[in-house]
Chains A and B, each alone.
Chain A
Amino acid sequence: AQTVTQSQPEMSVQEAETVTLSCTYDTSESDYYLFWYKQPPSRQMILVIRQEAYKQQNATENRFSVNFQKAAKSFSLKISDSQLGDAAMYFCAYKDFGNEKLTFGTGTRLTIIP
């Protein structure tokens, strides 16, 4: 079974600085998708970024980018120019190519220090 591990339960960063959240996963599949979701205090899950495993290029969305290392099974999220609105729980998630199921990590709580 696939597993997703987020080893940092909590992180903090100064406003306007850069922070990296870690995620590792375990799978025997070669085709899959990886996601980062954000859960703010409202508790609604919001997609931050998606990466297809067959793409070597790292995905980026404005201030958010990933470092996808397929051989190492690592998928970290970098947030540049951190803003107060970035404070949230961040979840890493995995999905097989032929499976609709998302497997989530346990999350990292990110605090932004003004």
Chain B
Amino acid sequence: DGGITQSPKYLFRKEGQNVTLSCEQNLNHDAMYWYRQDPGQGLRLIYYSQIVNDFQKGDIAEGYSVSREKKESFPLTVTSAQKNPTAFYLCASSPYERGSGNIQYFGAGTRLSVL
């Protein structure tokens, strides 16, 4: 089955610790995205990548880092610099064609909490 797999489903972070959220897709999509969702708010874009080895900051990139070494993988690292990491994190992917309304498909999300 084609889709987007996020792991783990739940993750706990200790003070000063970096944690990495995994996102894998087998849809052969070029573009991938990371969003953060807080209660009472919509999704906010953290980072996105349109092609391998290239990525751009979104609206709330501070305290986060990403890599895009393979087309199908776009891991997100929540660093110790992110002081309020507790949130629900969603990964998405889409076929990339500039100027088109490419639909973004989402994974099931990772809930990150601070211990």
Binding site for B on A (CB under 8 A): 4, 9, 33, 35, 42-47, 50, 52, 91, 93, 95, 97-98, 100-102, 104-107
Contacts and interface: CB of A to CB of B under 8 A. Distances in A.
Interface in B1-59: 31, 33, 40-45, 48, 50, 58
Nearest to A98: B99
Contacts of A4: 42
Nearest to A43: B109
B9 to A, nearest CB: 10
28 contacts: A4-B42, A33-B101, A35-B103, A42-B108, A43-B108, A43-B109, A44-B109, A45-B43, A45-B92, A46-B106, A47-B105, A91-B43, A93-B42, A95-B101, A98-B99, A100-B33, A100-B48, A100-B50, A100-B94, A100-B96, A101-B45, A101-B48, A102-B33, A104-B42, A104-B43, A104-B44, A105-B42, A106-B41
Contact of B99 (A46, A91, A97, A105): A97
A46 B90 CA distance: 12
B58 A101 contact: yes
Given A33-B101, A52-B101, A100-B96, A44 B108 contact: yes
B99 A45 contact: no
Ordered nearest first, which 4 A-B pairs have the shortest CB separation?
A104-B42, A33-B101, A45-B106, A104-B43
B98 A91 contact: no
B48 A107 contact: no
A42 to B, nearest CB: 7
Nearest to B48: A100
